[in-house]
Amino acid sequence: MADVTLKKTSPEPPEGLAGFVADWSSDQRAFKQVSWGKAMMWILLLSDTFIFGIFLVAYMVARSSTPETWPNASEVFALHIGGADIPLILIAIMTFVLISSSGTMAMAVNSAYRRARGPTALLMLATALLGACFVGMQAFEWSKLIAEGVRPWGNPWGAEQFGASFFMITGFHGTHVTIGVIFLLLVAHRVWRGDFDLDRRSWLSRGNGDYESVEIMGLYWHFVDLVWVFIFAFFYLW
- What residues make contact with other proteins under the rule CB under 8 A? 30-35, 39, 42-43, 45-46, 49-50, 53-54, 57, 60-61, 64-67, 74, 87-88, 92, 95-96, 99-100, 102-103, 105-107, 109-110, 113-114, 209-212, 215, 218-219, 222-223, 225-226, 229-230, 232-233, 236-238
- Helix, strand, coil tally for the chain in percent (to 5): 70, 5, 25
Residues 57, 171: contact at Cβ < 8 Å? no
Question: Shortest distance, CB of residue 147 to other proteins, whole angstroms?
Answer: 23
Q: What whole-number distance in Å separates Cα of residue 48 and Cα of residue 44?
A: 6
Which of residues 139 and 237 has its CB atom nearest to other proteins in the complex? 237
Q: Which distant-in-sequence residues (6+ apart) come within 8 Å of 52 by Cβ?
A: 169, 172, 173, 227, 230, 231
Which of residues 1 and 30 has its CB atom nearest to other proteins in the complex? 30
Question: Shortest distance, CB of residue 233 to other proteins, whole angstroms?
Answer: 4
The residue count for the chain: 238
Question: Shortest distance, CB of residue 140 to other proteins, whole angstroms?
Answer: 19
**Is 151 in a helix, a strand, or coil?**
strand
List the Cα angle 75/80/85 in 5-degree steps.
50
Which of residues 9 and 33 has its CB atom nearest to other proteins in the complex? 33
Question: Shortest distance, CB of residue 13 to other proteins, whole angstroms?
Answer: 26
